[in-house]
Amino acid sequence: MSNELTSPPGAAAAPSSTPAARRPLPRWLREPLLHFAIAGVALFAVDHWIVGASDDPRTIVVGAEVDDKARELFRGSRGRDPDAKELAALRQVWVDNEVLYREGLALQVDRGDAAIRERVIFKALSVVDANLKPPAADEKTLRAWFEAHRAKYDEPPRLDFQEAVLAGEASESAVRALVERLNHGAPGEIDAGLRVFKGRPQASLVPSYGEDFATALAEATPGEWRALRAQDGWHAIRVDGSSPGRPAQFEALQGMLLQDWTDTVMAERRTAAVRELARKYHVRVEETAR
């Protein structure tokens, strides 16, 4: 079944020379936790002396360097600058990591490894995790969670289609003329490239092309080229086939649902535990970092 969620990779603990370090990481370390979901600790961490530590150990200063690093990493990943909401989320990731870093230092888990911020954060988070109690679930709880997250488990309607891409102008008149030639002319004489899509989930078309385009494509007659307007302009499209969506069955997925629900609840509890630790700190955002 389709799984539409894709998270940026989280940070991995630094390698060790001991055999134990080559064992697979615990499942929660491989999950896109809030603390590592957006940038990842290994990429997002700024050296401790750069990030504006105050003389007051209970004050966390979010300086301009933090935002500059966040923008740089976001731009490298997404090809654009973060908006205000995304920047605030990136800043909160850094604050969470700074809290864990300082808690790790307070617990002296950095002994022999003080220069590696990521390892200190992982050690501190391991202490947090060790104090969390795994949740207990009953069937009623799992069914309610399943219904609330059906989009993740249902098999979506899918479309097979082709797009003829003009080498030059892609105005409405040019695309309609291309469609006319494709439906009645010789394809070998047409100056256009061809893109082929197999089993594309219908819902995945909406972000790229828009809701109206996705609906029109789902209603199109197979085998016929059509000029369809999307949010980025006109497209010459031919639907080749489709498959209906199928709802997931709770009984068939119960084991997976239990694991997914447990991971989600544990991630929420870790976040709450870190935010509780953060209550002992005063976070001050400098004007230059806004």
240-287 pLDDT, tens digit each: 999 999 999 999 999 999 999 999 999 999 999 999 999 999 988 887
Domain that includes residue 188, residue range: 155-243
Backbone angles phi, psi at 80, to 5 degrees: -155, 165
* 122 — pLDDT class (breaks 50, 70, 90): confident
Rounded Cα–Cα distance for residues 95 and 99 (Å): 6
- Specify whether the CB–CB gap between 33 and 128 falls below 8 A: no
In the chain, DSSP finds a helix count (H) and a strand count (E) of: 11, 6
Mapped onto helix, strand or coil, the DSSP state of residue 31 is: coil
Domain count, the chain: 1
For residue 9, pLDDT beyond 80: no
206 within domain boundaries: yes
186 within domain boundaries: yes
Rounded Cα–Cα distance for residues 224 and 162 (Å): 10
Nearest-CA neighbor of 248 among 159, 160, 161, 142? 142
| CATH code for the domain in which residue 174 is found | 3.10.50
183 within domain boundaries: yes
Mapped onto helix, strand or coil, the DSSP state of residue 289 is: helix
- The stretch 35-58 carries a mean pLDDT of 48
181 within domain boundaries: yes
Amino acid, single-letter form, for residue 279: R
CB neighbours of 86 closer than 8 A, spacing ≥ 6?
38, 74
228 within domain boundaries: yes
If you count them, how many residues does the chain have?
290
Which tokens is 249 given? 């069955």
Residue 47 has a CB neighbour count (10 Å cut-off) of 9
- The stretch 81-90 carries a mean pLDDT of 92
- The stretch 80-104 carries a mean pLDDT of 91
Rounded Cα–Cα distance for residues 121 and 147 (Å): 35
Find the helix packing angle between 84-106 and 64-78, rounded to 10°.
Answer: 120
pTM for this structure?
0.55
User: Is the dihedral angle over the CA atoms 274, 275, 280, 283 positive or is it negative?
Assistant: positive
For residue 46, pLDDT beyond 60: no
Which pLDDT score is estimated for 33? 42
SS3 per-residue string spanning 165-227: EECCCCCHHHHHHHHHHHHHCCHHHCCEEEEEEEEEEHHHHHHHHCHHHHHHHHHCCCCCEEE
Which pLDDT score is estimated for 147? 94
- CA distances to 35, 123, 282 from 270, in Å: 9, 14, 20
171 within domain boundaries: yes
163 within domain boundaries: yes
For residue 52, pLDDT beyond 80: no
Rounded Cα–Cα distance for residues 278 and 67 (Å): 20
∠ CA 213-78-212, rounded to 5°: 10
- Specify whether the CB–CB gap between 51 and 63 falls below 8 A: yes
Rounded Cα–Cα distance for residues 52 and 32 (Å): 27
279 within domain boundaries: no
For residue 77, pLDDT beyond 50: yes
Provide the pairing of β-strand 59-62 with 158-166.
unpaired
Provide the β-strand partners of residue 60. 283
